[in-house]
Structure 1
Amino acid sequence: MYGYQGTRSPSHRRNDNARSYYTGNASSPALPPDRNIKEGLVSPSIRTLSKPSGVLGATVKPENLRYIGSYNWKDETTPTIIVPGSPPIWRDRALPYRVPFDTGIVMVDQNNFRMGNSCGLLPLFRAVDVMAADGTTSVDWGAVDIITDRNGLRKLLRWLAHTGQDSLKEFRIDLQLGGNKTVLMHRWEKRMRENVVPPKGGCGHNFEHESTSAAPGCQGSTGHHRIVQYDLGGLKMVVRFEVDACTAGPVAARGNQLALRGGARIRVAAGVDDLTDALTGLGVSSTSTTASESSGASSIDVIRAGSVVPQESIIELTSRSARYIHEFNWDEKYPQLVLSQTPHLYLGGHDRGTFQQIHKYRLGGSELQNVERASQQIFKQLVSILRTIQQLLKDHGGQGSLSVVCQWDGTLQVYKRTSNAGLLPESELARFRA
């Protein structure tokens, strides 16, 4: 039952990787060619990984969930994030309403794109460090087993679920060992942006845009990323994921406060200009983590704005043609909700762009009990393969850097890398030895 092959042609499916930053511009620039999935790797592979079999044990699900940080990207020349930022707010518009089909550039991997040749995990650490400096959170990095984007876990789940009946979309994950045991899973994509051509791309991005409003202090940002910590089958996980939207109530209830250096707080005004004026009045415009302040790491500018949104408030948005909504693939969507502990899924059904129904589901609801039971074996396999990867890195020592590459036929191979380019720099690895 548990599979990731779609039931319709790709023209009816939104690329789940292409989630953040949508230009909506029909005159899209030419994009660079796809990267070679084996660039920078040493052939032949050193090992082929097999799917775990006969995995037994207690129920596997995220436990002891804890929010540790968040940020929004700003579209600036220098990498710039808003901390803690806020997701867009669900408008709950009256039905029906119409949105145009998507067209233009979408971001496949915004973190790596905006960091250029630097490490795409750096914004995660910057956001958590800023929150920790405020006393909002704390992390014992040396005790963490896995640090990853949710995307990497979903790719491993697709490999585990692959039966060989259809081809599997190939993928690569770069691996790095921090301290004695922490596995850093670095996202790798053939392309960081892609063109969307209507009507093939559907209207999922415009559905998000037309159904939400920017949170105060976060106008003009290009995607909200949330970082959580939880236990999964005995592994201590830190997972980053993008949030599509949040419910309005909890955000307003928090007063939309903005934390500043020195413990001062101001109330965020409705507009960006008002926010700028308020910050200027306090003699603060932004916080910039320069190379010297971050022990040689790449520079990331940090703007203090937004508000921490409760986990209970976050929403995953998706859309389907009303003609195919009965074929919605829960086997694909359910792990996405679980791995980020996103409690709400809003599924919009449309007829050629006119949305006439919004189906609202809740993680743990009765309608998901069957897929929840069916997913247990594959989640146990996921924990097992993560432990295998962790041991592989430990066996290769602290300087070892490996990559796993999945081929179209479902073969998952481990390669040595020729360099540590794109990985976390040595100055940042000190946090795992503290």
Structure 2
Amino acid sequence: MYQYGGSDGYQSRYSRGGTYNRDNSRTGRSGLSSSLPQDRDFMEGLQTAALRTLSKPQASIISRDEQILKPQNLKCIGSYNWVDEPTPTIIVPGSPPVWRDRPVPYSVRADSGVQMVDQNSFRMGSASNLLPLFRAVDIVSEANADTSMNWGAVDVVTDRNGLRKLLRWIMYSDVESTEPLKEFRIDLQLGGNKTVLMHRREKRDREISVPPKAGFGHNFEHESTYPAEGCQRSTAHHRIVQYDLDGLRMVVRFEVDACTAQSSSYTLRTSTGTQSRTSTRTSNVDDLASALGGLGVSASSRSSTAATSAITIIRAGAVVPQSTLVELATRSARYIDQFNWQEKYPQLLLSSTPQLFLGAHNRGTFERVYKHALGNPSLRHIEQDTRIMRAFKQLVSILRTIQQLVKIYGDRGRLSLLCNGDGVLKVYERTSNTGCLTDSELARFRA
């Protein structure tokens, strides 16, 4: 969901999370009060002195015929939904909420109550927030040997959120930026010989929305979608994709707001054989559709092997094709022409989310939904924006620099990126392993 800056947690908009009360306010976990912990200190657990300051990679000259770097050879390798339970519980493969395509106009209440900033971190506590990603992918690999992952060949494992933060840092300057740069921290860890694990770390995992400043984004999503079969208790859907980005092999997790619905039949491959089913899907399925869909035929549960980070697995839902994914956004109809495409377009591109539905409202009454698609001529001016094109090249360059640093400090080194509001990005050593993957989890990168 996007309003002001995006569902990845920029400019006080939050990731989809929590359940709706009768008044349509949202809580992150049963029984939450409106009293939240104080913000974390980003220097907590870091050495006092920085190891080094990172400079922005030199911007290359962009020719008129040049095209923006885009993810290539994209493949969905897993997905899951969070469930509102006292202990970490995910639905695999899960499914995104389905777009209702309601006739306009319709009205929604202003957002209120506790909203999620980072549901993965909130529900995993002190354990690594990357663990649900690996659990979801592992289940796919178990179901279909053709999809087994070669983790040692991966260069970067990250949330889309981390890539967006680095892009904002690259594009930020006092002259060109109209919005202040929000400070951020990303914890780093080495997997195997070269894989950079980027652990998301926020000042807060939840925030309180107070109308009218909070806007209408979450309730627009709630009133414009319905839960997929088997995912009625879901609080968020996350998808994990693998792709190549200018020579870097990336594994990226991101939240999906919604998907469009089309009905067709397809075949499930399960441990007991094959069977045909009808589901809300398109016929142009992903490579893993059969494997992931096959996981949704039963409602069994299982805990992870790590006692300190147990995750209960509910097998339900069905994977949807990448072509059906939708990012939802809202904007006052008075300012619809001021929509920030330089902020939004990279978000879509970094996850290959093909559609953006932009709801235009007048004080919560949605009068029109603008539907945009990647590759549409209406977005050509954004795709040819030289500033964005340069920034994507610089992103690849800084990821390679980060990879070299992490490799130098080895599998026992713990580094963090810390960027202040003035755009200074520094690298620090950490004094704690909190939030890192354990040795047993890291074994996948050495296999």
Q: Partner residue of 2:439? A: 426
TM-score by length of 1: 0.89
Aligned pairs for 1:209-220 within 5 A: 209-220=222-233
2:309 to 298, 305, 308: 298
For 1:208, what is the secondary structure of its paired residue?
A: helix
- C-alpha spacing 1:64/1:121, structure 2 compared with 1 (3 Å): same
Which structure 2 segments of 5+ residues have no match? 27-31, 281-296
Q: Output the CA distance in 2 between the equivalents of 1:305 and 1:14.
A: 34
Q: Output the CA distance in 2 between the equivalents of 1:356 and 1:188.
A: 37
Q: Output the CA distance in 2 between the equivalents of 1:104 and 1:167.
A: 26
Q: Partner residue of 1:106? A: 115
2:162 to 152, 158, 174: 152
Q: Are 1:312 and 2:323 an aligned pair?
A: yes
Partner amino acid, structure 2, of 1:333: K
Equivalent pair of 1:176/1:185 in contact (CA under 8 Å) = yes
Equivalent pair of 1:48/1:411 in contact (CA under 8 Å) = yes
Q: Partner residue of 2:286? A: none
For 2:309, what is the secondary structure of its paired residue?
A: coil
Q: Partner residue of 2:12? A: 15
Aligned pairs for 1:16-415 within 5 A: 16-21=13-18, 23=20, 24-25=24-25, 28-55=33-60, 59=67, 60-135=69-144, 137-165=147-175, 167-249=180-262, 252-254=263-265, 262-263=272-273, 285-291=299-305, 294=306, 298-374=309-385, 375-415=388-428
Q: Output the CA distance in 1 between the equivalents of 2:443 and 2:273.
A: 27
TM-superposed deviation, 1:236: 0.2
Partner amino acid, structure 2, of 1:431: R
Equivalent pair of 1:134/1:263 in contact (CA under 8 Å) = no
TM-superposed deviation, 1:370: 1.6
For residues 282-332 of structure 1, give each alpha carbon's deviation from its aligned partner in whole angstroms, at most 9, with x where no partner exists: 9x64231343xx5x5611111111011000000000101101111000000
Equivalent pair of 2:54/2:425 in contact (CA under 8 Å) = yes
TM-superposed deviation, 1:104: 0.6
For 2:147, what is the secondary structure of its paired residue?
A: coil
Which structure 1 segments of 5+ residues have no match? 1-5, 8-12, 271-281
TM-superposed deviation, 1:422: 0.4
TM-score by length of 2: 0.86
TM-superposed deviation, 1:351: 0.6
CA RMSD of aligned residues (A): 2.4
Partner amino acid, structure 2, of 1:163: S
Equivalent pair of 1:107/1:193 in contact (CA under 8 Å) = yes
- C-alpha spacing 1:92/1:269, structure 2 compared with 1 (3 Å): closer
TM-superposed deviation, 1:61: 1.3
Q: Output the CA distance in 1 between the equivalents of 2:346 and 2:428.
A: 27
TM-superposed deviation, 1:25: 3.3
TM-superposed deviation, 1:54: 3.7
Equivalent pair of 2:265/2:278 in contact (CA under 8 Å) = no
Q: Partner residue of 1:278? A: none
For residues 41-77 of structure 1, give each alpha carbon's deviation from its aligned partner in whole angstroms, at most 9, with x where no partner exists: 0010000000001436974211001110000001011
Give runs of ≥4 in structure 1 deviating > 4 Å. 56-59, 257-270
For 1:210, what is the secondary structure of its paired residue?
A: helix
Partner amino acid, structure 2, of 1:114: R
Q: Percent identity?
A: 59
For residues 128-173 of structure 1, give each alpha carbon's deviation from its aligned partner in whole angstroms, at most 9, with x where no partner exists: 0001111072221000000000000000011001102463110000
For residues 84-107 of structure 1, give each alpha carbon's deviation from its aligned partner in whole angstroms, at most 9, with x where no partner exists: 000000000111111111111110
